[in-house]
Amino acid sequence: MTLYFFERITEDDFLGPVVIAAEDEVRAWDLLGRRERKEVATLRAESWEVAQELGEIPSRPSIVYPSHYRRAVLQGPS
C-alpha cells in the first residue's frame, strides 16, 4: 500500500493535502474522483496533482516534502 498526497494549486486557491492509501496511482486517482464526485480527467484539468508518494514509512523521524518542493530546491531560485 502506498500513501498518495494530492493537492490542487491555482492562482486563487490551494486544496490539500488529501492523503489516499491505495495499491497504485490509478486506484488513488479513482478514490480521489469518488471523494470529489468528479471524473479523473476533470480533476487533472482542475490542476489536481500527486504532490508526493510515500511507499514506506521513514525508518527515522523526518520531514516529507511534496515533490514540487524538491524540484524547487534542486532547481534553485529563478
* Residue-wise pLDDT tens digits, 3-62: 999 999 888 888 888 999 999 999 999 999 999 999 999 999 999 999 888 888 778 887
pLDDT at residue 73 is higher than 90: no
Cα–Cα distance for residue pair 27/71, rounded to 1 Å: 25
Can you give the pTM of this predicted structure?
0.77
The torsion of the CA quartet 16, 63, 73, 26, rounded to 10 degrees, works out to: -50
User: What is the domain extent for residue 48?
Assistant: 2-75
58 Cβ contact partners less than 8 Å away, ≥ 6 residues apart: 64
Strands (E) in 12-77, as ranges, are 14-22, 48-54
The domain total for the chain is 1
CA angle 38, 44, 48 (to 5 degrees): 90
- Record the cell numbers describing residue 33, joined without a space: 474522483
